[in-house]
């Protein structure tokens, strides 16, 4: 069984497991995906900074991956 992505999942963990997920983060304006600070953020933290609906993004990621 595949582990679900949650608002508490680290972005670095998502990118390591699903590199193609980068497009979702880039689309929300998160252009520093390679920097250690962004990889250590949770989905919820990144959404708060970029003004994105966290629940919607998590749902999209889980549908895709």
pLDDT 10s digits, 6-44: 999 999 999 999 999 999 999 988 888 878 888 899 999
The CA–CA distances, whole Å, from 25 to 1, 34, 40, 57 equal 25, 12, 14, 9
CA distance 41 to 1: 25
Please report the pLDDT score of residue 42 as a whole number. Answer: 96
Torsion of CA 17, 23, 27, 32, to 10 degrees: 60
The residue count for the chain: 65
Please report the pLDDT score of residue 9 as a whole number. Answer: 97
């Amino acid at each position: 069984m595949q582990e679900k992505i949650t608002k508490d999942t680290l972005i670095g963990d998502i990118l390591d497991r699903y590199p193609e997920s980068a497009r979702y983060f880039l689309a929300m304006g998160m252009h520093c995906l390679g920097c250690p600070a962004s990889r250590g953020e949770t989905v919820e933290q990144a959404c708060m900074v970029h003004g994105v609906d966290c629940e919607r993004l998590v749902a999209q990621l889980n549908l895709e991956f």
